[in-house]
Structures are given as structure tokens and as C-alpha cells.
């Protein structure tokens, strides 16, 4: 029998950790200046990549970690470092500079827009250390298939909401204009760097104490 209570609990936890409304502006910022088709493709690919990783991790994560001798704290530290690099790039507009340089290339150079679906949107923004750790805990509490299904259904619902938030994010950014988006880019970069530092600190605390 479907466990509604577990579904609601898992949905609330995963929604807060993945934070679709918080990821949407970051997605819009990272795809700024690209075509609508590219943005739609990145939205679907980001969520699909994250879904494959998270659904696979929900069932095989604990076994893989045990076999490789990897702790959740190591996952937090690694994810935090990756996220910190993205935050720095946003603060100093490295991505904007890269796109401007590409635009100045010869017309024959048909470089494709940057693919952000795997990194950083798929990993670690959606399928980050917090999400993976939460899945391990939630699946560990399960007593059988009905409970497993409730957790996975909650994950699927959050991922659908994330996809929808990505698809409408571009319109919101356009309404705000360049000045606001430039400020938003730097603010989000600082927030990302801070979140990354917290991931690293949590990982170090768990590993050392």
C-alpha cells in the first residue's frame, strides 16, 4: 500500500534541499544569451541527468560507497569544491567573458552554446551531496517496495517541478533586464560560494569529529 505519510515527508525534504525556485534563477543566468531551443534542451537534459543519477543512487548508492570506501562527508567536500568554483565564476563574470569571446570568433566557427546540463546543473545543483545523502537516509528507513515507491515518487514530483521552474526561468530574467540580471549573477555567485563553503565545513566536521 502506498505510504502517503512517507511520500509527503520525502517530498518536503527533497523539495527544500533541491530548491527548484532557487535553482531556476541560476539556470537562467547560466543560459543567458542562448536560444530558447538551447534553454529548453538544457532544462530537459539537466533534469534527466539528475534523475538518472539520483534514481540510480537511491538503490545503489549505499552499496557503491561501501565498496569504494567513500563516506558521505567526502561527497559533501567534493560537491562543495565544485560548487565553489561555479560561484566564483559567476561573481567575476567568467562565463559572460567566455561567451563574448566566442561571439567575436570567425563566422565559420559554429561553436555550440555551453552545455551546463551535466555540470553544474545536473551535478551538483540538483543531484548534489545533500540530495544524495537525503536519499540514502530516506531509502534506509524503508521497509519494502511500497515505501521505496513513496520515496521515489516524491523525488519524481520534485524533479518535475524543477523542470517546470527551469522552463519559465528565462521569461523572468528577460523581464528584469540586464542591470538586474548582472547584479543577480553576482549575488547568486556569492550565495553559491557560501553554500559550497558550508558543504565543505559539514564534510570536514563529520570527518574529523
Summarised one tens digit per residue, pLDDT across range 22-80 is 788 888 888 878 888 999 999 999 999 999 999 998 888 778 877 888 777 887 788 78
- Per-residue pLDDT for 110 more than 70? no
CA distances from 62 to 18, 51, 65, 144 (A): 20, 17, 5, 16
The grid coordinates listed for 105 are 570568433
Q: Which residue has 548534489 as its cell numbers?
A: 128
CA distances from 145 to 59, 85, 139, 151 (A): 12, 39, 10, 10
Rounded (5°) CA angle 17-43-87: 55
CA distance 9 to 22: 20
Q: What is the mean pLDDT of the chain?
A: 81
For the CA atoms of 10, 74, 140, 122, the dihedral, rounded to the nearest 10 degrees, stands at: 40
Band the pLDDT of 145: cuts 50, 70, 90: confident
DSSP 10-58: HHHHHHHHH-HHHHHHHHHHHTTTS-HHHHHHHHHHHHHHHHHHHHHHH
CA distance 86 to 65: 26
In sequence order, the 6+-apart residues with CB closer than 8 A to the CB of 49 are 117, 118, 121, 122, 123, 127
Report the pLDDT averaged over residues 130-149.
80
CA distances from 35 to 72, 123, 185 (A): 38, 22, 19
Q: Which residue has 537534459 as its cell numbers?
A: 45
Count Cα neighbours of 18 within 13 Å in the Cβ-side half-sphere.
34
Distance of CA 162 to the CA centre of its chain: 9
Neighbours of 49 (CB within 10 A): 18
- Per-residue pLDDT for 21 more than 50? yes
Maximum alpha-carbon separation in the chain: 61
Amino acid at each position: 500500500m502506498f505510504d502517503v505519510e512517507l511520500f509527503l515527508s520525502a517530498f518536503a525534504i527533497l523539495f527544500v534541499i533541491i530548491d527548484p525556485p532557487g535553482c531556476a534563477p541560476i539556470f537562467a543566468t547560466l543560459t543567458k544569451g542562448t536560444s530558447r531551443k538551447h534553454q529548453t534542451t538544457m532544462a530537459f537534459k539537466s533534469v534527466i541527468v539528475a534523475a538518472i543519477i539520483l534514481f540510480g543512487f537511491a538503490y545503489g548508492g549505499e552499496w557503491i560507497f561501501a565498496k569504494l570506501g567513500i563516506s558521505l562527508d567526502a561527497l559533501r567536500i567534493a560537491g562543495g569544491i565544485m560548487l565553489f568554483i561555479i560561484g566564483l565564476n559567476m561573481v567575476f563574470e567568467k562565463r559572460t567573458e567566455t561567451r563574448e569571446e566566442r561571439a567575436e570568433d570567425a563566422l565559420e566557427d559554429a561553436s555550440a552554446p555551453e552545455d551546463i546540463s551535466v555540470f553544474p546543473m545536473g551535478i551538483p545543483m540538483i543531484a548534489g551531496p545533500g540530495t544524495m545523502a537525503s536519499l540514502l537516509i530516506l531509502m534506509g528507513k524503508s521497509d519494502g517496495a511500497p515505501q521505496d515507491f513513496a520515496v521515489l515518487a516524491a523525488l519524481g514530483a520534485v524533479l518535475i517541478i524543477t523542470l517546470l521552474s527551469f522552463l519559465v526561468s528565462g521569461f523572468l530574467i528577460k523581464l528584469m533586464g540586464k542591470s538586474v540580471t548582472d547584479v543577480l549573477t553576482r549575488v547568486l555567485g556569492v550565495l553559491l560560494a557560501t553554500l559550497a563553503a558550508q558543504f565543505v565545513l559539514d564534510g570536514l566536521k563529520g570527518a574529523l569529529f
